[in-house]
Amino acid sequence: MTRAIVIDADPGQDDAVAILMALASPEIDVLAVTTVAGNVPQPLVTNNALALVELAGTETPVYQGCVRPMLRDLYTAEYVHGPTGIDGADLPPPVSKAGDAHAVDYLIQVCLERDGVTLVPVGPLTNIAMAIVKEPTIVPRIREIVWMGGGFFEGGNTTPAAEFNAYVDPHAAQVVMSCDAPLTIFPLDVTHQALIMPDHLERFRALGTRAGDSVAGMLDFYERFDLAKYGTAGAPLHDPCTIAYLLDPGLFEGKKVHVEVETGSETTIGMTVMDWWEVTGQEANATVMCRVDGERFMDRVIAEISRFPLR
């Protein structure tokens, strides 16, 4: 049985790989891709999502979502992703258009109409939080929210305290943390174990497909920033962890803990406060992943991208 999901993304090269993995997999039914401003502004993220759907050869609908965070000005990351968000992909401009519905309204509609949809946000949580605030009755109908965001032992990658997705819209993140839907989080602590190495890029290129070449090009561009920043042999591949988890949960290890997001202090705003050692006595509200088998993870990413046909 396939798992019905909606991907909420701000592509972003790592978002792009997550989207392509999900679209390629026969085990996942991607009902739609909804877009949120984050790595780059709207409408760039929407154009990127449309281009990726066309690259995948599917007719998956795309819905444009929020253009800014709930309460703060938008902070973007062209310094990582390039001015388009998916630099290195070399994709033609999309022919298709986004659906007429706003992403928030689509999320509400699909959750009300289809019990048990999994939401997979791999960017700021603005759309998800706005849907919950606008129509709280969707919460018990959500099977699981699977989010890439936050950091605990690793701290932050955007400020000393905050990971990018949490930092961009901390108020939305706190809404989602407190919504009572089943929640699984992939923080920097686990994604920094999922490293793109030079041989992985060569394996993508060796597929001999447009998808393989596009992924290799995107990741070659994308990893330059993190290689310089962290001084590691490979760069972390964040967002595809969510899709790999849906396909093979055994790749990961985690723990149920209580998580809150700091919204009051400018010094630590966006910090994901994870009660790993259960010192507060508060009830766990999320499963936070802390370990991944990095080589098996990359094997799975490459295997899914390899499903796309030859030119």
* Residues noted as catalytic: 238
* Amino acid of residue 25: S
Phi-psi region of 157 (alpha: psi -120 to 50; beta: other; left: phi over 0): alpha
The bridge status of strand 252-257 relative to strand 235-236 is unpaired
Supply the Cα-derived Rg of the chain in whole angstroms. Answer: 18
d(CA 282, CA 257): 9
Closest CA to 45 of 36, 56, 33, 57: 36
Angle at 11 between CA 8 and CA 18, to 5 degrees: 70
Residue 26: exposed, middle, or buried by beta-carbon count in 10 A (0-12, 13-18, 19+)? exposed
Q: Cβ distance 127 to 110 under 8 Å?
A: no
- Shortest CA distance to 118 belongs to which of 1, 241, 8? 8
Strand, helix or coil for residue 259: strand
Q: Write the DSSP symbol of residue 42.
A: T
Cα–Cα dist 51/140, whole Å? 33
